Structures are given as C-alpha cells and as structure tokens.
Amino acid sequence: CSHEMAAGILKQALAMGMMTEYYHYIFTTLTDAALMYDAVHVVSVAVQQFPQMTVSSLQCNRHKPWRFGTRFMSLIKEAHWEGLTGRITFNKTNGLRTDFDLDVISLKEEGLEKIGTWDPSSGLNMTESQKGKPANITDSLSNRSLIVTTILEEPYVLFKKSDKPLYGNDRFEGYCIDL
C-alpha cells in the first residue's frame, strides 16, 4: 500500500489502542520505485544480450506466441546482480525471484528500528536485543489463543508442498508463518 495509506492505518490503530507490543503489522510494496528500476534493468540486460532479437508488429488479441519469447524469458531467468532491492536471481523453472532478504522493522519511540531479517531458505532471524522489553510479555500471552488473519501471497504465506495431506496450520509456510 502507499505511504499515505499505511500512515492512515497506523493512525487509526493508534486511536484504537492497537499500537502496543501485542499488535504487529506487515506492510509491503513501499519500494515500488526500486522494484520497477530493478525490473527495467533486468529486461534491458536481457535485450542487450540478445541483439538479433527483433519485434515486428504484435497483436494483443492473437494467441500466437512471440517467436523470441522463450529465449528472452530464459535470459531474464539467468539474471543475477545486486539491484536496489538486494540480490536479483530467479528460479529457472517458474521465474520467481529467489535468494532475497526481507528486513523486519519495528516502530519504536525513537523511530523505526531493524530487529531482524527473513529469507526463504533460513527463515526468520531476530537480532533485536532484549533491553527495554517488559519481562512479562511471554507470560501474558501464555494460555491465550491468538487469531491471525492473512492472505496467500508468496513469499509471505503459501501452501506447503507435501506428499501427504496436511491439515490446519500445517498446510502453510512462509515469512508470516515463521513470524
């Protein structure tokens, strides 16, 4: 969501008393410009590596694939470099971005503070020190059921791949599940 929308949501949460250590929010897509820059750069590198590629008139309503499409996608999937948003590498099979890190940021009285990282292979790594934390947070949450609502959105929440049937929360994995 936009910065303005995120600020509005946080102001409403503050007004409702939902800005304590018991409430957590995940905001994404605050780096659209950086992601767009990285995407354009990956495409431009692929175009430079394939100079004999030509584009004649394309029709959106025709179902005939572009003759260079498969090769062009292969060049994009082979990209690997350090972009504005971190390491840029893609899964060769499905083309999804791999090998990236997400920062876990906490809003403190002094401002935003990085308290950990998450990546698809290692999962969650919290680095925040325990100074200034109330000792009873864990105690106050013991024997309480928490309800978390989310949507399926890779890499945050996705169905876990398994040969056997999974039920309940065991069906899911990803950044939010690790949190």
**Cα torsion through 172, 86, 39, 29, rounded to 10:** 50
**Residues 73, 109: one domain?**
no
Phi, psi of 34 (to 5 degrees): -65, -40
What is the mean predicted confidence (pLDDT) over 53-80?
83
pLDDT-derived band at 166, boundaries 50, 70, 90: very high
**Residues 36, 73: one domain?**
yes
pTM score, whole prediction: 0.54
For residues 38 and 88, give the distance between their C-alpha atoms in angstroms, rounded to a whole number.
8
**Residues 38, 94: one domain?**
yes
Contact 152, 160 (CB under 8 A): no
Tell me which residue has tokens 């948003």. 85
**Residues 107, 170: one domain?**
yes
**Residues 87, 118: one domain?**
no
**Residues 74, 109: one domain?**
no
Average pLDDT, the chain: 82
Note down the domain range covering 145. 101-178
Strands (E), 84-153: 86-90, 97-98, 102-108, 111-119, 123-126
